[in-house]
Each structure stands twice: as C-alpha cells, then as structure tokens.
C-alpha cells in the first residue's frame, strides 16, 4: 500500500464513494492479489492512516467492515490480521465436486465425517432416486473444510447398489466423485434448489459460527450421463463464506 513519489493519492476525496469504502476496497484488493497473504498482520493503524491519507476513525470503519465480511480478523492489543478463511469465494455454475472446485482454486479440502451408515430408503428418498422404498441407502454427513475452515455441511444419500464399496470408503480422505468414477459413473447434471435460512444450534456448532447466522441451503439430485439418479444431497453453506456464480440468458423468439 506504499505510494510512489509523485503518484496520485490512493484515496480520492473527490470520488463519490465514501473514504472508508475506498480504503476497504483497496485493502481487499491487496488481499485478493496476494500482496497481503492469509494470516499476515496489517501495518499499524498510524502507518495505514499516513499511507492512505485518512483519519483513524475512517480507517477503523473500513477495517471493521472487512472483519464483518470475513476478510480480516481483529486481535485486541495486537492489530489486524488477514483472515485464514477463504472469504466469499466465487463458485462456478458448472457441475463439479467440492474437491475439484477447491483444487482449481488452489485450496486444500478436508472433511470431518459426522455420520456414515446404511439406512432403509423412505418413500420420498426412494421417489427422488427412482428406487424401491426400503432399499439400502448409504447416508454420509460431513463437515467440508477449505484450508481448515468449515465451509459447509454436506448430507449425501445414494443407494448402496450404485457403488457397493461405498460403505468401506474413508470419506475423511476420499472423494465421492472419485469413487463414482472408479465405478464407471459420472454425474452429468444436477437439479438444484437454493434457499436461505438461519443456522440452528447443531449446525452452528459444526460450522464454527454463531447460532442464527445465515446459511445457504442447496438441495440437489445428481444424475448420470444417461439421466439416471445417482445421489441426492443437501449442502448447507456458511452464507458469509460462499457465493454462487451463475448466468442467465434471455429466450429469443
């Protein structure tokens, strides 16, 4: 954030945006570009105020906004640090696994398995998966983490007969998509619905957030390339750590 001699001021009082928004945008840009890395401490407030030519009140407003957005962490008496959690990452509108998305973005994914067991399929579950009620259904509940930060609760169900070895798999390390690929199966499309609601106590505990924080709930049924149902899932994303990117096109007559 150092200014070159003779260069234009970084913060422009004549811009329509408030000074604190300009400051927050600048700091966030430094983080997105990798100039300020995860876990790094920001320069002291006095130095930042001098660099940006703004008051401490304005700086504090910008820094607190970045804390609320999950970009920074404040440590009392020690300063401001770049958050280690991936803040508001863009997710694609293409069908890919959590592991594939994380790998493409240069992030490390891990999973904490909460439940992995076989239960009989209910009528609703059987209908969505085109199987007979009572069929053995493998249920897998996981906390999904990116760089060690809980991002989502992933609840997945599929018929045991789809991948017989699914019961023996270690999903703390293995990917469901990789297991499907090993069985010669590949998800071709997914029908999804998305809604928002507040986290309950159990969800908040697993995700390391405060009860009542917003969750983005995505319910999906995934199909293979022949159009046969493979699995159903409900993924509960931490609202402040996830952003879905999609696109729309206007139908032409």
Could you state, in order of their start, the residue ranges of all structural domains in the chain? Answer: 19-82, 89-244
- Please say whether the dihedral angle defined by the alpha carbons of residues 91, 92, 97 and 102, taken in this order, is positive or negative: negative
19-82 maps to which CATH number? Answer: 1.10.10.10
Element (H, E) at 26: helix 19-32
Contact 191, 175 (CB under 8 A): no
Assess whether pLDDT exceeds 60 at residue 9. Answer: no
- The CATH-assigned architecture of domain 89-244 is 3-Layer(aba) Sandwich (3.40)
Model confidence at 205, pLDDT cuts 50, 70, 90, reads very high
Residues ≥6 apart with Cβ < 8 Å to 232:
125, 128, 129, 156, 157, 158, 219, 220, 221, 222
Taking only the tens place, the pLDDT of each residue in 147-165 is: 788 889 999 999 999 998 8
Taking only the tens place, the pLDDT of each residue in 97-146 is: 777 766 655 667 889 999 999 999 999 999 999 999 999 999 999 999 88
pTM over 0.75: no
Contact 180, 186 (CB under 8 A): yes
């Amino acid at each position: 954030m150092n200014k070159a001699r003779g260069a234009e001021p970084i913060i422009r009082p004549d811009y329509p945006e408030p000074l604190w928004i300009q400051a927050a945008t600048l700091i966030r840009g430094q983080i997105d570009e990798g100039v300020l890395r995860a876990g790094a401490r920001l320069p002291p407030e006095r130095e930042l105020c001098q660099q940006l030519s703004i008051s401490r009140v304005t700086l504090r407003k910008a820094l607190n906004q970045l804390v609320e957005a999950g970009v920074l962490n404040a440590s009392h008496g020690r300063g401001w640090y770049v958050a280690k959690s991936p803040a508001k990452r863009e997710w694609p509108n293409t069908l890919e696994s959590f592991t594939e998305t994380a790998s493409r973005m240069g992030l490390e994914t891990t999973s904490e398995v909460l439940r992995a067991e076989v239960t009989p399929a209910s009528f609703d579950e059987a209908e969505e998966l085109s199987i007979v009620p009572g069929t053995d259904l493998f249920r897998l509940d996981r906390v999904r983490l990116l760089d060690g930060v809980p991002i989502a609760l992933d609840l997945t169900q599929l018929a045991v007969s789809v991948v017989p070895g699914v019961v023996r798999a270690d999903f703390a390390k293995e990917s469901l998509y990789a297991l499907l690929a090993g069985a010669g199966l590949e998800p071709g499309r997914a029908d999804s619905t998305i809604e928002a609601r507040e986290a309950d106590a159990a969800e908040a505990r697993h995700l390391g957030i405060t009860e009542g924080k917003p969750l983005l709930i995505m319910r999906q049924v995934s199909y293979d390339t022949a159009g046969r149902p493979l699995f159903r899932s409900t993924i509960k994303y931490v609202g402040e750590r996830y952003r879905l990117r999609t696109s729309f096109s206007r139908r032409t007559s």
